[in-house]
């Protein structure tokens, strides 16, 4: 006999307080006690059709949710794989063959050693290693890590998360356990937990925007008149810009399939608003081809952020392709490894080889324009021009959005934040005279 059930919907319009909610209390009082006749099914509706467009707003949503624990390992697995019919196996055997390295890679000679062997076993081993030092985990802050250390200064778990070798929920649970034991821990967005939540932030934003990976038709993205320079794009993608720090990063990416997140910041800013004024979509495509941890939502989201097209709008804060690398590797060891042409250049000019005289260049075994390219742009000049371009683009986007005309604004003085230089995003204003 069918049991008649009534469905009651209670809308929490302000907060989710349950213990002293009058309307909800009445429902419970009038309901029958039998659990098979009365079931509470919570449904969360968070800004339907919209996603949080700031990381902090996203965190406020996350704090209202509770993740279920990771499932225990099954003791046995059912035999769910049925044998393929012999005829099909023989007829289509080539479909199941693993491709060779030559088939996958156009220039396998450019590849370095495989630093990231795949599989769940390796992923779990790396997770255990990364989380073994609980003090390091609790005090981790991404801005304090090095983009150009010879050994990674972060966990490098991203390829394993991307391919599903490692459960994001497991990482979250393990981090939570450590943070409970260390109450004075770092916080998002810079903490390790914050790095994991960046992934979820971009997933959430991308879920409601089908054009998330392009400028046109993308509700998040500002419309910016980027230029087309195939020659500059190719030089950037292959590490031939004439800026050793930028070139070292792009060569590491091409050889190993991974670069530090702050190194991604440097090369993305250089390609887009910082120096080359090339669309973030072009950089996104190169990363899509080369990054082991390439993820559709994260890749597009980070490129929009770093080009100041969405999520981040302080376009006057520009990474220096010289000063940023010097900050964490004054000797240039990273450059020497990935740009071996410059191996004999001294620390004083390895980041700025154009400062070496022709005689010095010959002595160091690397003449610019012959053994290593000249700079394709002058950062001191172009980054200032690009700040003005961004200013104009922002102004036009505001006018389109609001329908109001704006007065002219002088943005030339906006490379300072609150009257102080920002150490990480400081634009290069080197006046020091060094002997090379």
Q: Which residues carry a binding-site annotation for FAD?
A: 154-158, 195-202, 293-295
DSSP 357-425: -HHHHHHTT--BTTTBPPPSS-HHHHHHHHHHHHHHHHHHHHHHHH---------TTTTSBTTB--TTT
Render the burial of 104-120: b for 16+ CB within 10 Å, e for the rest. eeeeeeeeeeeebeeee
Kindly report the number of other CB atoms within 10 A of residue 295's CB atom: 21
Residues 6 or more apart whose CB falls under 8 angstroms from that of 283 comprise 236, 267, 268, 271, 272, 303, 307
Binding positions are 154-158, 195-202, 293-295
DSSP readout, 27-95? HHHHS-S-TTT---------STT---SSHHHHHHHHTT--PPPPPPPPS-----PPPPPHHHHHHTGGG
The two three-digit tokens of residue 401, written as one number: 């959005």
- Round to whole Å and give the CA distance between 408 and 411: 9
Cα 115 to the chain's mean position, in Å?
A: 20
Overall residue count recorded for the chain in this entry: 436
CA distance to 23, 32, 33, 36, per residue, from 6 (Å): 16, 11, 14, 12
Report which DSSP code applies to 273.
Answer: I
Other Cβ atoms closer than 10 A to 20: 7
The DSSP code sequence of 226-245 is PBP-HHHHHHHHTT-SS-HH
55 in the Ramachandran plot: left (φ > 0), alpha (ψ -120 to 50) or beta? alpha
Would you give the end-to-end CA distance of the chain in angstroms?
92
């Amino acid at each position: 006999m069918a049991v008649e059930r009534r469905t009651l919907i209670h809308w929490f319009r302000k907060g989710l307080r349950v213990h002293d909610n009058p309307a909800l209390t009445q429902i419970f009082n009038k309901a029958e006690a039998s659990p098979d006749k009365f079931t509470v099914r919570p449904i969360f509706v968070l800004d339907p059709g919209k996603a949080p467009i700031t990381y902090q707003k996203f965190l406020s949503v996350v704090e209202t949710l509770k993740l279920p624990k990771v499932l225990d390992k099954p003791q046995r697995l059912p035999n769910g794989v049925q044998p393929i019919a012999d005829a099909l196996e023989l007829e289509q055997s080539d479909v199941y063959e693993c491709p060779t390295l030559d088939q996958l890679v156009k220039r396998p000679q450019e590849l370095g050693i495989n630093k990231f062997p795949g599989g769940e076993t390796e992923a779990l081993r790396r997770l255990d290693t990364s989380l073994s030092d609980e003090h390091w985990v609790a005090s981790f802050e991404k801005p304090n890590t090095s983009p150009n250390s010879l050994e990674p200064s972060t966990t490098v778990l991203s390829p394993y998360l991307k391919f599903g070798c490692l459960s994001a929920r497991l990482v979250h649970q393990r981090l939570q356990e450590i943070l409970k034991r260390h109450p004075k821990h770092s916080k998002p967005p810079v903490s390790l937990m914050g790095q994991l939540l960046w992934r979820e932030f971009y997933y959430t934003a991308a879920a409601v925007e089908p054009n998330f990976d392009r400028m046109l038709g993308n509700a998040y993205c500002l419309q910016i008149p980027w230029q087309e320079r195939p020659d500059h794009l190719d030089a950037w993608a292959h590490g031939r810009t004439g800026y050793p720090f930028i070139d070292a990063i792009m060569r590491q990416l091409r050889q190993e399939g991974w670069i530090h997140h702050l190194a991604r910041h440097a090369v993305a800013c250089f390609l887009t608003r910082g120096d080359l004024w090339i669309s973030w979509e072009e950089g996104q495509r190169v990363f899509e081809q080369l990054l082991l941890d390439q993820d559709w939502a994260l890749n597009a989201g980070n490129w929009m952020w770093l080009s100041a097209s969405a999520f981040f709008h302080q376009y006057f804060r520009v990474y220096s392709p010289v000063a940023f690398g010097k900050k964490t590797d004054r000797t240039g060891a990273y450059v020497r490894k990935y740009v071996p042409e410059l191996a004999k250049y001294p620390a004083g000019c390895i980041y700025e080889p154009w400062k070496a005289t022709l005689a010095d260049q010959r002595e160091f075994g690397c003449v610019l324009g012959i053994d290593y390219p000249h700079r394709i742009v002058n950062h001191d000049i172009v980054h200032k021009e690009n700040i003005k371009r961004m200013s104009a683009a922002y102004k036009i986007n505001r006018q389109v959005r609001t329908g109001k005309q704006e007065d002219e604004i002088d943005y030339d003085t906006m490379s300072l934040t609150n009257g102080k230089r920002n150490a990480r995003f400081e634009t290069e204003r080197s006046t020091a005279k060094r002997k090379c």
